[in-house]
Structure 1
Amino acid sequence: MKKRTFKIFAAFTLGLLLLLSSIQLPNRAFAQDALNINADAAILIEASTGKILYAKNEDAALGIASMTKMMTEYIMFEAIHDGKIKWDQEQTISDYVNKISVDTNLSNVPLEKGKKFTIRELYEAMAIYSANGATISIAEAIAGSESKFVQMMNDKAKELGLKNYKFVNSTGLNNRDLKGMHPEGTGAEDENVMSARSTAQLAAYLLRDYPEVLETTSITKKEFRTMPGEMKNWNWMLPGLIYGYEGVDGLKTGTTDFAGYCFTGTAKRNDLRVITVVMNAKNSKGQGDYKSRFDESKRMMEYAFTNYSTKELYPKNYVIKKHDSLPVVKGKEKSVKIYTDKPIKLVIKNGEEKLYKPVFKVDKKKLNKDGQLTAPLKKNEVVGTVDLAYSGENDFGYLSKDFAPKINMVTQEKVEKANWFVLMMRGTGGFFSDMWTSVTKTVKGWF
């Protein structure tokens, strides 16, 4: 009986071990499943730092439809900032723009050939109503033709460090909708594609460099002088609209058969602004519709505002243990104290403050071969940086180095270069000290 009991126990133990070996520890995929965003790709970030709070299939190049217009907006704002175009500048409507603008199957405001509209009028039609003809007219005003503007779009994407993208027109339409007038060098069936990560990155650059875009994207409706009725914003998450959500003030919807229902949203509550991207969002039945993209965006926003906040983990002038000073050569002092140049603030999950520890990284270019700084040194001279080591799980990182917070380690005071006499005496002292050490060792060897 005892042998049988032992065998049963051994079999049970072996089975339990096999079961445990098949169970994986929580990882990134688990975090995604926990939120379970119903879309082909999705991403949630904090806008100012590019901290990724959630991601799903974020690097796949997928259709972006009219979210494309964020790139057109970025280039337009840059052109205005550089003085290449002006808000009150009038643009004459081309035959191409006219033919697109009167297509009632597309989102448009009617633009009569030969008539003039200001850049501001065209921009408002693009940002509020996603007007495609108006978008092409802006592209022509900046580059002379949409073909040249598309090249600018791809060049700007590369400059901004975006990946997994391809722009073939300024609007996000399928090229077949451009009535045979699609940009040179592109195919008749081509569409714009980009990853969710790069779409969020583009949105973050747009908000960082040209925050005034929100003054227009937050408008729920506005009249356009050639359009009966009013332009109504396609972003139905704006407060006051059907799926209104507190804090939403942008940014861009997009819909084509190829891309499905897409949306880049942004909302701010207190000091936390988030950006969300959903691509080909679907409802619980697996079908895409207008509501699904807003439902999935709302879920990510709720997740962010409920679980994350900006917190100061370490104050300005913080001294890291075991890294409170660095050795100095040729200075009046032989070392210099160092500390952080500003507070260390992060967007973190509530309750995880203790999971972050500061890690000092010295700037090796500042050191000599013996690992010393060389005098003279200025006060607040940068000698390295601080990274934060995270000991928790499911860290998605940052969009790019451009957004990640950078904390410098700086000198607390200046260190003047010692004069020749002091340096000579130190050298002489070192010589005699070395000699005395040598003599001492020799004498000890006699006994």
Structure 2
Amino acid sequence: MFFKHFKKVCLIVMAVFTISTPLAVTANNHKTNIKTQKVSKNLSKQDKNSQQLDQQTDNLIKNNLPLNLQAKSALAVDAKTGQILYAKNADQALPTASMSKLLSIYVTLQAIQAHKINWDTKVKITPALHALSVNPEYANVELKAGHEYTIKQLYQAAIYSENAGAMAMGYGVAGSTQKFALKMRQAVKDLGINDAQIYTACGLTNGEVGSLGFKDVDDNAENKLSATDMAIISMNILKTYPHILKDTAANTTKFENNTMLNWNWMIKGRSEALPDIKVDGLKTGTSDTAGACFTGTAVKNNHRVITVVMGVHHSGQYDPSRFVETQKLLKYVYAKYHHVNLAPNQSVSEMTEGRNDGNIYVPNGKNEHLSLSFADKQDIWLDNNQQFNLQKIQPLSNLKYKGGIDAPIDKGEVVANAQVKGTKYITDSNVKLSASKDDDKANIFVRMWRSIMSLF
């Protein structure tokens, strides 16, 4: 009897537990959902924006859809090699507005490096420079007529897009604003850019700077460069003067008693910063003809890119549209590609998993086929579905011999160039290949025999 009653009690307890367990689980899940909702609410605007961009980017890549940026031209390249990761009308010359100041800064840094001037060089402000500095139509900090400012002060003003500051900097470097514009033209030619139009150090039109412009040039003439040109200039600045990142990543700087605010809203602490991609330069530009423009640089997982967007429609100076387009571009590039790291002395055959035999023909060598290795360290960006492969393996011109290379060859000697299949660059970029071992010249009898056999 006791056992029967005990069994009934156990069944009742089990039934209650079975009913209560889902309720408990549901209650716990409800608490979890509430917690998740609270976490979601606590996400910053930047985090939410980043997550939405990730979803949009994943959809594009998953469905093999193109990235359509709302810009007249755009470009993304590797900051060291110039490998093109995205391009839209990238070679079309367009008004650059204040992005021109990047070139002005580059020329100034060259002059400092050549010891023609230094950071403490004083520049006396002319009446024309003063008049430009107090023109309320343009971004400016007042430069007092007859007062002297250092190149360092004017350089900082140029970075923060002060137009008269950039013009005064050029005046101090070259002796006149017109001569400085000529130096800017020469600088881009030295970089291989032959179609640039340069008139002012600041990006205003020739007429807008008044007597500081060229006398026999139309008032509407303005600086024009392509997105590719802007990327080339930026690559050379970052390579030669990397300290510029410290200057362009600062939110504010002082000019006498004035605090100047950086127009780059993607740097840390600003409204359009991305939480997972560090943007730390370079320069914005805005005008009626140029639209909203931005040449930027960013790094993620130690891989730096340069981005350019030009001709973005905007409704006013506080419209973030150029940064929105840059956000899309950065997210797309970092999601679409993976990296292949080439190491010195790494076998071509091994790296390509046999897709390239990794050999080069040596007609007069002891070994007719010499295995190749990579000569330098280099990073390559590949589409996520792309395998690493070389094409157009060409012997160096000074080593060419009967369809191959001429022996003797020393181990480690660079003997050929190649291109990575499926990649493009804004400038010529080849992968250097070296001999993985020595290859002496075969004796005369072996060479004669090979010549005879080649006839059959």
1:410 aligns with 2:427: no
State the Cα distance separating 1:54 from its structure 2 match: 1.8
2:100–2:223 CA contact under 8 A, matched in 1: yes
The alignment status of 1:327 with 2:362, answered yes or no, reads yes
Cα deviation for residue 174 of structure 1 reads 2.0
The answer on whether the counterparts of 2:227 and 2:309 sit within 8 Å (CA) in structure 1 is yes
Does the CA contact (< 8 Å) of 2:363 and 2:406 recur in 1? yes
Instruction: Name the structure 2 match of 1:25.
Output: none
Residues 96 and 293, structure 2, Cα contact 8 Å, conserved in 1: yes
1:186 corresponds to which of 217, 221, 237: 217
What CA distance in whole angstroms lies between the structure 1 residues aligned with 2:367 and 2:74? 55
User: Secondary structure of 1:39's partner?
Assistant: coil
Q: Deviations over 1:31-89 (max 9, x none)?
A: 99732211222222222221222222222221110000011011111111111111122
The root-mean-square deviation of aligned C-alpha atoms, in Å, is: 3.1
Q: Which residue of 1 aligns with 2:266?
A: 237
Deviation track 1:339-393 (CA, whole Å, cap 9, x = no partner) reads 22245631123x2242x31235232634565335444433322211121223xxx
* 2:208 aligned partner: 177
Deviates more, 1:316-325 or 1:261-270: 316-325
Question: Out of 75, 98, 108, which is 2:107 matched to?
Answer: 75
Counterpart-to-counterpart distance in 1, 2:404 and 2:426: 34
1:56 aligns with 2:80: no
1:232 shift after superposition: 0.6
Deviation for aligned residue 1:434: 6.7
1:265 aligns with 2:265: no
Instruction: State the partner residue of 1:400.
Output: 427
| Offset, 1:177 | 1.9
Asked if 2 retains the 8 angstrom alpha-carbon contact of 1:153 and 1:167, the reply is yes
Change (3 A) 1:318 1:133: same
TM alignment of 1:127-138, pairs within 5 A: 127=159, 129-138=160-169
Aligned to 1:295: 324
Code of the aligned partner of 2:403: G
> 2:449, 2:72 → 1: CA distance?
69
C-alpha contact (below 8 Å) 1:366/1:383 kept by paired residues: no
Amino acid at match of 1:324: N
TM-score (norm 1): 0.77
* Per-residue CA distance 1:377-424 (angstroms, 9 max, x = gap): 33322211121223xxxx6x21111xx3x3222123334567xxx64x
The answer on 1:126 being equivalent to 2:158 is yes
For the 8 Å contact 2:143–2:164, the answer to whether it is kept is yes
**What is the rounded CA distance, in whole Å, between the counterparts of 2:150 and 2:70 in structure 1?**
40
User: Partner of 2:320: helix, strand, or coil?
Assistant: helix
- 8 Å CA contact retained: 1:174, 1:256: no
Change (3 A) 1:84 1:327: same
One-letter code aligned to 2:372: I
- The answer to whether the 8 A contact 2:337-2:381 is kept is yes
Name the CA distance, whole Å, in 2 between partners of 1:370 and 1:87: 57
Deviation at 1:300, TM superposition (A): 0.8
Is the 1:66–1:130 contact (alpha carbons within 8 Å) kept by the matching residues of 2? Answer: yes
Question: CA–CA distance in 2 between the matches of 1:368 and 1:54?
Answer: 36
The sequence identity of aligned pairs, in percent, is: 31
Q: Given the alignment of the two structures, is residue 96 of structure 1 paired with residue 120 of structure 2, yes or no?
A: no
Residue number among 229, 237, 253 corresponding to 1:198 in the alignment: 229
Decide whether the 8 Å contact of 1:63 with 1:194 is kept in 2: yes
Counterpart contact for 2:128–2:211, Cα < 8 Å: no
Q: What SS does the aligned partner of 2:389 have?
A: strand
SS at structure 1 position matched to 2:203: coil
Q: Structure 1 stretches of 5 or more lacking a match? A: 1-30, 442-447
* In 1, Cα distance between equivalents of 2:378 and 2:299: 21
TM-score (norm 2): 0.76
Given that residues 200 and 277 in structure 1 are in contact (C-alpha distance below 8 angstroms), is that contact kept between their aligned partners in structure 2? yes
In the alignment, structure 1 residue 352 sits paired with structure 2 residue 385: yes
User: What does residue 8 of structure 1 align with?
Assistant: none
- For 2:64 and 2:138, the matched residues in 1 are separated by 35
- The equivalent residue for 1:276 is 307
SS of equivalent residue, structure 2 residue 410: coil
How far is the alpha carbon of 1:254 from its aligned partner? 0.8
SS at structure 1 position matched to 2:123: strand
Q: 1:109 to 1:53 in 2, by over 3 A?
A: same
> C-alpha separation between the residues in 2 aligned to 1:434 and 1:139?
69
User: Would you say the 8 A contact 1:360–1:384 is kept in 2?
Assistant: no
Q: Is the 8 A contact 1:163 1:195 kept in 2?
A: no
Match of 1:10 in 2: none
CA distance in 2, matches of 1:361, 1:256: 46
Describe the superposition over 1:406-447 as per-residue Cα deviations: whole angstroms up to 9, x where unpaired.
3222123334567xxx64x658x859x979xx9xx9xxxxxx
Name the CA distance, whole Å, in 2 between partners of 1:98 and 1:38. Answer: 38
Q: 2:149 aligns with which of 114, 117, 124?
A: 117
- Larger CA deviation: 309-318 vs 189-198: 309-318
- For the residue of structure 1 that corresponds to 2:255, the secondary structure is coil
- Shift in Å at residue 211 of structure 1? 1.4
Measured at CA, do residues 291 and 426 of structure 1 come closer, stay the same or move farther in structure 2, by a change above 3 Å? closer
Equivalent of 1:341 in 363, 375, 379: 375
Task: Summarize deviations over 1:307-331 as a string: whole Å, max 9, x none.
Answer: 22322378742144444353253x6
Structure-2 separation of matches of 1:335 and 1:277: 45
Letter in 2 for 1:345: D
Deviation at 1:94, TM superposition (A): 2.2
What is the one-letter code of the residue matched to 2:270?
Answer: L
Provide the residue aligned with 1:39 in structure 2: 71
Secondary structure at the aligned position of 1:151 is classed as helix
Q: CA deviation at 1:152?
A: 1.4
What is the one-letter code of the residue matched to 1:294? Answer: F
**Shift in alpha-carbon separation, 1:312–1:253, aligned structure 2, 3 A:** same
Structure 2 Cα separation of the partners of residues 374 and 181 of structure 1: 60
Gaps of 5+ in 2: 1-62, 350-355
Distance across 2 between alignment mates of 1:239 and 1:367: 51
Question: Do 1:125 and 1:131's aligned partners in 2 also have CA atoms closer than 8 Å?
Answer: yes
8 A Cα contact 2:396 2:417, kept in partner? no
Query: Distance in 1 between the 2:138 and 2:281 partners?
Result: 21
Task: Supply the distance in 1 between the matched residues of 2:155 and 2:304 (Cα, whole angstroms).
Answer: 24
Distance 2:85 2:449 in 1: 56
